[in-house]
Amino acid sequence: MKKIRLFVIAGVILGTLSLPGWAAPVPVEVTVQTITGHRDRFDMPGVDAEQSYILIDVTKVDLNEDGIGDINPVAILLLFTGGRGKLEVKDSQLDIETQNFLVRSRNHFAAEGFVVGVIDAASDFLDLPGGLSGHRAPGKPHSGEHLTDIEAVMADLRGKFPNLPLWAAGTSQGTISSARAAAEPHPASRANGLVLTAPLTGPAGGGDLGDVALESIAAPTLVATHREDKCPLTLAEDAAALKKRLTASSRVQVLFFKGGSTPLTDPCDPLAPHGFFGIEQKVIDAVTKWIKHAEK
């Protein structure tokens, strides 16, 4: 697998391949994709909801002129941020400011050979102060609309990359959304794999993974947790217990991490063990290695 170091300049990701004799920057296409027509806004019947996501397309890297060949992507990796789920991405602002572990690591996942999608909250959720909070879990207000948005993004990505498996990866509150991507759509439309980082095991008033039918997930599932995560909603021992519920999964593993940098935020915020602060690359390497092995 050819590795790329990625960095953002004026909304375009450039990279350099770590191969002997290759020093020229390689452009990687980054765009904002917006989907409409999949449902009405829940607050304005008859008005289309807009669902956007960032797309990092490593299939557009072309090295054939120098005889090295193209980058062969491993899979699509659809990332779900935690918290309110609000990124508010725009075509003119691709370098979004967020501290969320998965979102701030998106370029590093692309560097490992993944087509990366980073899903935003849909337009009607963006207009809510709390965004997706309290709406992600089954049975919560507008949770059906949220699932429809997830399904629309997965269908769009599969239409663009029909030969690639699609993995859903969420962190903290985003694990509710990613787990639903693997559990609730029609079996033929579900995510092909699932990654739960700092999974929200609760109890949480707005819902947690206890509300998701994990027993119906057949896809291989990786759980990543930090032993020093002090957030009461994402404790390591509760994350480990998820394995007992994933009874239909073809492969399940729980990875425990430790160490990192001195926290800069509260225990439930991302610049702390909850967000794998200071050991991001270690976690990324472990997750991507696990997915690559599962796809062999």
Distance (Å, rounded) from C-alpha 210 to C-alpha 144?
Answer: 17
Rounded to the nearest angstrom, the gap between the alpha carbon of residue 215 and the centroid of all alpha carbons in its chain is 21
CATH number of the domain that 197 lies in? 3.40.50.1820
Which tokens hold the place of 9? 């300049």
Q: Are strands 26-35 and 51-57 parallel, antiparallel or unpaired?
A: antiparallel
Single-letter amino acid code for the residue at 11? G
Exposure of 14 by Cβ count < 10 A (0-12 exposed, 13-18 middle, 19+ buried)?
middle
Mean pLDDT computed over 46-54: 96
**pTM, entire model:** 0.90
What is the structure's pLDDT at 6? 39
What is the structure's pLDDT at 107? 86
For tokens 């300049």, the residue is: 9
What is the structure's pLDDT at 131? 97
Q: Are 205 and 136 in contact (CB under 8 A)?
A: no
Distance (Å, rounded) from C-alpha 88 to C-alpha 109?
Answer: 21
Q: Are 86 and 125 in contact (CB under 8 A)?
A: yes
Domain holding 182, by residue range, is 4-294
- The total of structural domains in the chain comes to 1
Is the pLDDT at 59 greater than 90, yes or no? no
